[in-house]
Amino acid sequence: MSVETTASPKTRRGEATRRAILKAAEAVIGAKGFNDASIIDITREAGVAQGTFYIYFKSKDDIFAELVVEMGRLLRLALSEATAEARDRIAAERAGLRGFLTFVTAHPNLYRIIQEALFVDPEAYRAYFQSFADSYRDALGEAVAAGEIRPGDPDIWAWALIGIARNLGERAVIWGDETPIDEVVDAAHDLIVNGLK
């Protein structure tokens, strides 16, 4: 699906309106699902007129595709901030996992939106995960080259580590597990660093 979107807003006010509509779409689609969410629901949640929606987005499919991209952008930003001070790859793994779990706890609709993308916009779903895996693979490859972690297959490692984080986030957000984030991070990080032996 991945439709071509409208031009970017030219003013700060326009960008703020566009972001408000995206945030409303996150809330509405996250709560109701793609099929049951309507543009009227989204504009009501955003506090804008329905016509304003069409200044920024062409359709519900369009805003959904943009929402998947936006969720990925916000998550990458949160992960970059979380790992900025990490001294090496091992420290970055801990900080990144903590940053991820903190982000998904604050954005619980991420899981429903991304899962729905598998059916609503498979191209956006694939791009979402592939972009994370590609940059993760590159970071792990650099860490191998720097001698921070042992040699191995950074591509498979990247997908495996994404799976760990994704499932731990789902355990908290979808299943309602209330284990404190730091305890989850400690246990998962121990597994990542030491393996099962």
192, 100 in Cβ contact below 8 A? no
Write down the residue that tokens 């995960």 correspond to: 129
Residue 128 has pLDDT above 90, yes or no: yes
Say yes or no: 28 and 95 in one domain.
no
pLDDT for position 9: 66
26 and 99 fall within a common domain: no
Q: Torsion over CA of 81, 134, 75 and 14, rounded to 10 degrees?
A: 100
* 130-138 contacts, C-beta under 8 A, 24 or more apart: 131/72, 131/76, 132/72, 132/76, 132/158, 132/162, 133/158, 133/159, 133/162, 134/158, 135/76, 136/161, 136/162
Structure confidence at residue 8 (pLDDT) = 66
pLDDT in tens, 133-174: 999 999 999 999 999 999 999 999 999 999 999 999 999 999
In a domain, 3, yes or no: no
Q: Quickly state the pLDDT bin for 7 (edges 50, 70, 90).
A: low
Is the pLDDT score of 5 beyond 80?
no
| Residue 8: strand, helix, or coil | coil
pLDDT for res 45: 97
- 90 plus 48 within the same structural domain: no
| Residues in contact with 134: Cβ distance below 8 Å, sequence separation at least 6, in sequence order | 158
Report how far residue 82's alpha carbon sits from residue 106's, in angstroms, rounded to the nearest whole number. Answer: 14
Q: State the pLDDT at residue 14.
A: 86
Domain finish residue from 27, 47, 62:
62
Residue 12: per-residue pLDDT: 87
What residues make up the domain containing 22? 12-62
Residues 6 or more apart whose Cβ sits within 8 Å of residue 108: 30, 173
Query: Residue 51 maps to which CATH number?
Result: 1.10.10.60
According to the model, what pLDDT value does residue 78 have?
96
Of the chain, the end-to-end C-alpha distance in Å amounts to: 44
Is residue 74 located within the same domain as residue 132?
yes
What is the tens place of the pLDDT at every residue in 48-105?
A: 999 999 999 999 999 999 999 999 999 999 999 999 999 999 999 999 999 999 999 9
Whether pLDDT at 111 is above 70: yes
Query: Are 29 and 96 within one domain?
Result: no
Number of domains present in the structure of the chain: 2
How confident is the model at residue 2, as a pLDDT?
45
pLDDT the model gives residue 136? 96
Residue 6 has pLDDT above 90, yes or no: no
Quickly tell me which residue has 């001294």 as its tokens.
87
CA atoms within 13 A on the CB side of 78: 19
Q: Is the pLDDT of residue 3 over 60?
A: no
106 within 8 A of 172, measured Cβ to Cβ: no
Average confidence (pLDDT) over 118-133: 95
123's CB contacts (< 8 A; 6+ apart) are: 1, 2
Cα 136 to Cα 3: distance, rounded to the nearest angstrom: 27
Indicate whether 132 belongs to any domain. yes
Same domain, 82 and 159: yes
CA atoms within 13 A on the CB side of 16: 4
